[in-house]
Amino acid sequence: MSTHASPSDRKAELAELLEVALDAARSAGALLRDGRPADLGVAATKSSPIDVVTEMDIAAEKLITTGIARVRPDDGFLGEEGASREGTSGVRWVIDPLDGTVNYLYGLPSWAVSIAAEKDGEVVVGVVEAPMRGETYQAVLGGGALVNGAPTRRRPAPELSHALVGTGFGYLTERRAAQAEVVRALLPQVRDIRRGGSAAIDLVDVGCGRLDAYYERGLNPWDLAAGDLFAREAGLLTGGRPGERASGDLVVAAPTGLFEPLQQRLEDLGAWHD
């Protein structure tokens, strides 16, 4: 936030950004939920099911960017489906209109709309809307993390050997092969591995105590921005390789006490490269 803003001005701006993000995420979530053909996964039409999902993805992003631009015309955008605008306000919206597209295609419930607001390059607001769960996850920098308006509760850190760890895999064959080797080595050393299919949901699930930890290589800024803030505001540590911030190379999220040994194990296993 601007160094010239008073605490009350800062609080008011964050509240406004949160409200804008919540409205946009709920609108896009409803569009995706209500607009999905019941037979999407098996449709034998002139266009493939993948085309339908892409159309929904693009429509959701357009709904989000149009809605935000209407109330905040000077803000910038970075979106998975191509939304890109610099803006002049110092605020940029980082948008994944449909995180978990394969889940959406197959009718699985773990997909979400992810919207974050950056102020001068720092993520200050994050919203993850999961319509099929009936849950809205929201976080404000310095203001905590809420699920459907109630404070979230993460789990205390277990030993690594008792940790339920979420992860995800890339689309490139070479990367998937490398990620499979990491899982092969890690699996005997933890309680179990979960692969949910939505990075945003995995990150909020760690913050909600549904996973003990999460890691993944190859995330984009829009996969990460809102969920990472939620996890941190829920009291978790997030990062990449030791001493580095979470990035496309590696994202790790876990409570203190579990974060450090998991991060080091991932470093030893080369989880940060293909």
CATH number reported for the structural domain that contains residue 194 in this entry = 3.40.190.80
Residues 165, 179, 197, 158, Cα dihedral to 10°: 0
Q: Are residues 256 and 229 in the same domain?
A: yes
DSSP β-bridge partners for residue 96: 114
pLDDT in tens, 74-112: 999 999 988 788 999 999 999 999 999 999 999 999 999
Sheet with 251-254, edge to edge strand ranges: 192-195, 164-167, 213-216, 251-254, 237-239
Burial class for 69, CB neighbours closer than 10 Å (0-12, 13-18, 19+): middle
The more confidently predicted of residues 43 and 86 is: 86
Task: Please report which residue ranges of 42-186 form alpha helices under DSSP H.
Answer: 49-71, 101-106, 173-186
User: In Å, how far are 63, 122, 263 from 84, measured between CA atoms?
Assistant: 14, 17, 33
Q: Are residues 114 and 223 in the same domain?
A: no
Answer whether residue 117 is part of any domain: yes
Q: Are residues 244 and 111 in the same domain?
A: no
With residue 87 as reference, give the H or E element that holds it: none
The half-sphere exposure of 135 on its side-chain side, counting CA atoms within 13 A, is 19
Answer whether residue 147 is part of any domain: yes
Domain boundary among 96, 119, 151: 151
The residue segments making up the domain with residue 250 are 160-269
At 129, list the tokens.
Answer: 């809307």
Q: Are residues 108 and 167 in the same domain?
A: no
Q: Are residues 127 and 179 in the same domain?
A: no
Report, as an integer, the average pLDDT of 118-142.
98
Give the distance, in angstroms, between the CA of residue 236 and the centroid of all CA atoms in the same chain.
15
Band of pLDDT at residue 47, cut at 50, 70 and 90: low
Angle (CA) 226-227-228 rounded to 5° is 95
Domain boundary among 111, 132, 151: 151
Q: Are residues 176 and 224 in the same domain?
A: yes
pLDDT, position 42: 57
